Amino acid sequence: MAAVIIDGKAFAAKVRAQVGAAVTALKAQGITPGLAVVLVGEDPASQVYVRNKHRQTIEVGMNSFEHRLPAETPEADLLALIAQLNADTAVDGILVQLPLPAHLNAELVINAIDPTKDVDGFHIDNVGKLVTGQKSMVPCTPLGSLMLLRDSLGDLNGLEAVVIGRSNIVGKPMANLLLQQGCTVTIAHSRTRDLPAVVRRADIVVAAVGRPEMVKGEWLKPGATVIDVGINRIQPAGADKAKLVGDCDFDSCAAVAGAITPVPGGVGPMTIACLLANTLTATCRRYG
Ligand code: GUN
């Protein structure tokens, strides 16, 4: 049985169209949502993400404010910029692109963002609210992954979910969202014993470990829904061009799964779409 390929690119386009329509309605009332993105240094992958965020923010009709700072920016300067953005009434959402250069304390920087403008959902207030089921900003990649799961499966109550990866950006918030949906959730990670046996229990597998093609088809329960969050650039033997692959071995997983997200074109496009949706949410709550 071949798996259904979950089209994250098409779903993200729908989300952006909905956000765009809501932005048009807000603009008719004289309100233009604004997203500020701060990039420190010249990490090539971060530069690509920031460029895409800027383009898509403009496309949905929002204001995009880009702040590019040199890699050696002192922490005090970055904190001063965040204080300025917190106070700026034209700014509804603030995102500081991660990873930050090593001399900057990411935790301190993120927690300096006004939690109501924290469209990444990384501020400790938002993390606490998510864990306790209060209204919060939800991190974009897990939110996008959940939208795809709900669209594929409908009600998730009672399903066994295994999240592979325990990062603050994806694994932990994803596990909390699935718990809220009534799933029985296991978080697996690098120390998990017999990972294939753990994964085989799952109706839902979310792979977010950053290890190219690690999850194999023979690990899966037949018919499982697989959400592949990994984006890994590999150089296949004998090929002259690098290739993007996920954390799942796509061909073997697609042969066993009921549904699977591809890489690229699965979760990736959902992340920016959800960032725009979170910015809209922040704007609406402010004028609420
Ligand atoms: N770097 C990789 N993913 C993310 C993300 O979702 N938000 C931020 N701020 N930085 C990232």
44/90 same-domain check:
yes
Looking at the fold, whether 153 and 240 belong to one and the same domain comes out as: yes
Report how far ligand 1's centroid is from the alpha carbon of 48 (Å): 12
Q: Is residue 72 part of a domain?
A: yes
Contact 7, 265 (CB under 8 A): yes
Q: Is residue 12 part of a domain?
A: no
CA distance 142 to 155: 17
Cβ partners under 8 Å of residue 187, min gap 6: 163, 165, 166, 171, 172, 175
- Examine the domain organization and report whether 167 and 96 are in the same domain: no
In a domain, 210, yes or no: yes
Same domain, 215 and 97: no
For residue 104, name the pLDDT band (cuts at 50, 70, 90): very high
Q: Of 79, 114, 149, which residue constitutes the final position of a domain?
A: 114
For residue 271, the CA-to-ligand 1 centroid distance in Å is 9
Looking at the domain assignment, is residue 286 inside a domain?
no
Pick the residue whose CA is nearest to atom 3 on ligand 1: 98
Whether residues 105 and 194 share a domain: the answer is no
Q: Please indicate whether residue 141, judged by its CB atom, sits closer than 6 Å to ligand 1.
A: yes
**Nearest CA residue ID for atom 4, ligand 1:** 98
Ligand 1 touching residue 120 (CB < 6 A): yes
Which token pair is 198? 């753990």
Please work out whether the CB of residue 95 comes within 6 Å of at least one atom of ligand 1.
yes
What CATH number is attached to the domain comprising 169? Answer: 3.40.50.720
- Predicted confidence at residue 85, as pLDDT, reads 99
Give the pLDDT confidence of 197-241 residue by residue, as tens digits.
999 999 999 999 999 999 999 999 999 999 999 999 999 999 999
Counting the structural domains of the chain, the total is 2
In a domain? residue 281: no
Residue 65 is assigned to a structural domain of this protein: yes
Q: Is the CB of 163 under 6 A from ligand 1?
A: no
Report yes or no on 10 lying in a domain: no
Contacts of 211 (CB under 8 A, 6+ apart): 230, 232, 247
Cis peptide before 264 (omega within 30 of 0): yes
For residue 170, the CA-to-ligand 1 centroid distance in Å is: 10
**Predicted complex ipTM exceeds 0.95:** yes
- Strand-by-strand arrangement of the 63-69 sheet: 63-69, 34-40, 93-96
- Would you say the CB of residue 98 lies under 6 angstroms from ligand 1? yes
How far apart are the C-alpha atoms of 69 and 47, rounded to whole Å? 12
Give the distance (Å) from ligand 1 centre to CA of residue 1.
35
pLDDT tens digit string along 160-195? 999 999 999 999 999 999 999 999 999 999 999 999
> What's the pLDDT score for residue 288?
81
**CATH value at residue 64:** 3.40.50.10860
Region 264-268: what's the mean pLDDT?
98
Task: Give per-residue burial for 39-76: e unless 16+ CB within 10 Å, then b.
Answer: bbbebeebeebbeebeebbeebbbebbebeeeeebeee
How distant, in Å, are the alpha carbons of 41, 53, 109, 110, 283 from that of 98?
10, 14, 11, 10, 23
- Which token pair is 275? 């960032």
In the predicted model, what is the mean pLDDT of residues 149-167?
Answer: 98
DSSP 100: P
Backbone angles phi, psi at 224, to 5 degrees: -60, 155
Q: Give a yes or no: residue 58 inside a domain.
A: yes
Binding residue numbers for NADP(+): 165-167, 231
Residue of 45, 6, 38 lying closest to 244 (CA atoms): 45
pLDDT at residue 1 tops 80: no
Mean pLDDT of 109-126: 98
Task: State whether 182 and 243 are in the same domain.
Answer: yes
Residues 97, 204 within the same domain: no
Quote the domain boundaries for residue 255.
Answer: 140-268
